[in-house]
Structure 1
């Protein structure tokens, strides 16, 4: 499986699209806003650039694509007014893999620009957008041209499925039953990918440039801990059910592994310090329930069966990977089963996603 060709969220604006099933990532972006606002405020005050370049890496498509960018622009504009400066021009780069639904993004840009103009007062500088298809595990921008990099819920995706020396039998990701060599391979792949990401961004960021990265991670130092692996273990249960009924070949399942890794805060810090290009300004881990709808939401009654929402969210994320390996025939079989499993576990256990948030400043 070539990850760069098949890794993308469900596109469009339909019922199964990522655009309509991405409330958890939306809430995470809003939760991290104080950290991103502090980082870009510090950058602007220290550099006072006439033109500011912001890159959102792993932008996907849908309303979340512009959510972080909008907050960053508004923060800079508020700060420049306080300081009495003329508005900078804004260059916004939206990056994702080539298979991403960029068409939907491009169609939304004029509407977003018009809305932004209405929200800002006179004197607001022009805002230019560009799509940048490509893997962020390679260079994307010219040397020392980017001021601020934002990425949310993207860096947990690996550049490739780790090279496994043993079969990860019955699993699709790391699990307590996985061979130790499988676990080591996943750890090694993340270390390689994250270090590459840091070195590429160090080349592209201006001196004093900043990054805020939010990664789907874990709190435990055990790579196979429940807080990092459980959501995939339950999908593996649904797939194993199809194997037991003869709907999927066992060896077909055994050859399927998710290109994904949930790091701990300590792992992130250690890799940043080892790579050496950045200083850690802020690092924390936060929690959010699998079912982002809460009892105060108008949608709560509809999604009281938490498995319904979570299964739809995971389908928007995982369906392209499953289709590429197993074909479309299993999709309508696996996700109803997955929903039942999720509903059962969520009714009995505390189920949360862990977000590892790190704010970085490029060293001089």
Structure 2
């Protein structure tokens, strides 16, 4: 029997803090990807503002924000784009509510400290209109009031499933779809992703305003062949490391 969604929500988190082994220190790749998609984020923010008539308060959310400076980078880019767009239209700057979401065990405190240090460097007219808060919980559930969000950003989060799929008994000693694998293992992961992603979109459709926008960045594969070894190299390495670690602990 697979662990329930609630049990995973209470257990999962990235390594907090800013030490050598923290997520904040070891997420340079994710940051580099954001720099690549930043023009797309800016384009969608501007389009959202035009469609919504430049409201007096903008609510944005970073879902699966984790901990560290990556979410600061994303939210600050969005906030600056909003402020710049209002200035170009000769409109008074809006208030901006930035919501940071991740599972309850996430190290929000480290991120809040980084945001505070960043906000202290802002101009007074910007600093006084930018508000940041945390929203703990799974993004596979409702997180915000109906039709309240104008813009949703999420990077490197949605590929994480809400639960371990059923039917993985034949996929022993593996944390992923390992090559080679039985066909039922692939179908189990695929079905769970379909369920989760559909639920994610349903929840956001209830929370995002009409003409709101989302930019979602998540892991995929470049080839159509599900048996390609290229799809599994990183996860296979991680799986082998965990098995070696478990073996050492058992031996001791």
Equivalent in the alignment of 1:247: 248
Equivalent in the alignment of 1:271: none
2:145 aligned with 1:142, yes or no?
yes
TM-score (norm 1): 0.64
Where does 1:89-128 land on structure 2 (aligned, <5 Å)? 89-117=95-123, 122=125, 126-128=129-131
* Structure 2 CA distance for aligned equivalents of residues 152 and 190 of structure 1: 16
TM-score (norm 2): 0.90
In the TM superposition, what is the alpha-carbon distance from 1:175 to its structure 2 partner?
2.0
Equivalent in the alignment of 2:84: 78
In the TM superposition, what is the alpha-carbon distance from 1:239 to its structure 2 partner?
4.3
Query: Number of paired residues?
Result: 246
In the TM superposition, what is the alpha-carbon distance from 1:5 to its structure 2 partner?
2.0
Equivalent pair of 1:175/1:224 in contact (CA under 8 Å) = no
C-alpha deviations, 1:326-358, integer Å up to 9, x for none? xxx99xxxxxxxxxxxxxxxxxxxxxxxxxxxx
The equivalent position to 2:219 in structure 1, one of 204, 212, 216, is 216
The equivalent position to 1:5 in structure 2, one of 7, 10, 28, is 10
Question: 1:211 is paired with a residue of what secondary structure?
Answer: strand
- Gap change, CA 1:166 and 1:17, over 3 Å in 2: same
In the TM superposition, what is the alpha-carbon distance from 1:235 to its structure 2 partner?
2.4
- Gap change, CA 1:134 and 1:239, over 3 Å in 2: closer
Question: Tell me, which stretches of 5 or more residues in structure 2 are unaligned?
Answer: none
* Structure 1 CA distance for aligned equivalents of residues 77 and 230 of structure 2: 29
The equivalent position to 1:62 in structure 2, one of 48, 68, 72, is 68
* Structure 1 CA distance for aligned equivalents of residues 84 and 249 of structure 2: 56
Equivalent in the alignment of 1:162: 165
* Structure 1 CA distance for aligned equivalents of residues 191 and 61 of structure 2: 27
In the TM superposition, what is the alpha-carbon distance from 1:109 to its structure 2 partner?
3.0
Equivalent in the alignment of 2:43: 38
Equivalent in the alignment of 1:285: none
C-alpha deviations, 1:241-299, integer Å up to 9, x for none? 567xx5367xxxxxxxxxxxxxxxxxxxxxxxxxxxxxxxxxxxxxxxxxxxxxxxxxx
The equivalent position to 2:233 in structure 1, one of 230, 234, 240, is 230
RMSD: 2.1
The equivalent position to 2:198 in structure 1, one of 192, 195, 198, is 195
Question: 1:217 is paired with a residue of what secondary structure?
Answer: coil
Question: Tell me, which stretches of 5 or more residues in structure 1 are unaligned?
Answer: 250-328, 331-364
**Greater mean deviation of Cα atoms: 202-211 or 42-51:** 42-51
2:32 aligned with 1:27, yes or no?
yes
